[in-house]
Amino acid sequence: MSVGPALDAGLALLASALAVWVVLARQAFGAVVGFVAFGLVLSLAWLRLGAVDVALTEAAIGSGVTGAVLLAAVTRLHCARPVVAAARCGRRTRAISIASAGLVSAGLAALVLSPTDPAPTLAPQAAAALPELGVGNAITGILLAYRSVDTLLEKIVLLLALAGIWSLARDGAWGDRPAPPGSGRRDGTLTLLGQVLPPLGIVAGIYIVWVGADAPGGAFQGGAILAAMWILALMARLADPPVVGRIGVRLAVGIGPIVFLAIGFAGFALPGGFLSYPAGFAKPLIIVIEVALTFSIAVVLGLLVLGPSARGTQR
């Protein structure tokens, strides 16, 4: 295959050029559009690097959901005049930052061009322990067994981010619905899209979680797709944003981490201790955790996109 290197070079160049565009763009809107394109190029690069799981996550979260948040923000900021003192940097600051950023780049480049030989890897160890868990996808094994405590803490990070965003509501609006995404007008095309796409997307999302134990896919990727479908339905005004003070919403948000923690604590009864799984039951337990997490991740990602409660959004 001689196309491969050319494709890699093209993707690397395109990603770098888009990054420069995003950073130097005078207008925020152009920068955001550039960033979304940058995310898509990167997910192709991840495919080329043989990381299908990461490519899925990058496309769904790094480019998709992040893009939704940024585009919504840039449209809202567009109407307002800039308030944060936007003083341009002086020539000296620029020179210093070019020098320091260039230094970091040069250091990194020197290191990637002179790799350790043989390159260290944990792949054999990760693969050797997989049969014990009964899952086929090593990434799922890492996220939910070997390094599960990272995943657990990261779920708490998501909850804290949500609470942090909710804390930006005005006191009078606390617990109310967030403002619906989009322009606020009904639109025929959008309604059609909102009716056709979510059923397909929901099937795709659930499929990605389901195969995640053995093939590329998992809770984050599936959850992000489900969240995107929900946002789409909200944009098309086929559903209202939820009243975030309701116990049902809180339950949906918390159930994933709570199930994860509960199964973790149950591990104290086993020789392996916290977050260990009984022999032979690892895979079913991992799937239970994944399903609960997917549900919560979908809800939390959606709510993170929606933002804090706003008063007067109830129809």
Q: How far is the CB of 180 from other proteins (least distance, A)?
A: 15
Q: By CB under 8 A, what part of segment 206-245 binds other proteins?
A: 218, 220, 245
CB-wise, 175 or 314, nearer to other proteins?
175
Residue 158 in contact with other proteins, rule: CB under 8 A: yes
Q: Which of 1, 3, 80, 280 binds other proteins (CB under 8 A)?
A: 80
> Could you say which residues in the range 276-305 bind other proteins, by CB under 8 A?
276-277, 301, 304-305
DSSP for 219-275, please give it.
HHHHHHHHHHHHHHHHHTTSSPPP-TTSHHHHHHHHHHHHHHHHHHHHGGGSTT-TT
Between 226 and 253, name the residue whose CB sits nearer to other proteins: 253
Does the CA dihedral 136-140-144-150 come out positive or negative? Answer: positive
Residues 87-126: x where in contact with other proteins by CB under 8 A, - otherwise, as a string = xxxx--xx--xx-xxx-xxxxxxxxxx-xx-xxxxxxxxx
> Is 3 near other proteins (CB under 8 A)?
no
Tokens of 54: 């990461």
Tokens of 142: 């890492």
Nearest one of 256, 208, 247, 212 to 228, comparing CA atoms: 208
Shortest Å distance, C-beta 233 to other proteins: 13
Minimum gap (Å) between residue 129 Cβ and other proteins: 7
Distances (CA, A) of 6 to 12, 55, 115: 10, 20, 22
Min CB(99)–other proteins separation in Å: 10
Which of the ranges 12-20, 205-213, 287-295 carries the binding residues for other proteins, by CB under 8 A?
A: 12-20
By the rule CB under 8 A, 136 interacts with other proteins = no
Q: Which DSSP letter does residue 280 get?
A: T
Site for other proteins contains 269 (CB under 8 A): no
Least distance (Å) from other proteins to the CB of residue 213?
14
Q: Can you tell me the distance from the alpha carbon of 69 to that of 64, in angstroms, rounded to the nearest whole number? A: 9
Alpha carbons within 13 angstroms on the beta-carbon side of residue 292 total: 19
Contact residue for other proteins among 186, 200, 203, 214 (CB under 8 A): 200
Contact assessment for residue 121 and residue 138, using Cβ atoms and an 8 Å cutoff = no
CB of 315 to other proteins, least distance (A): 22
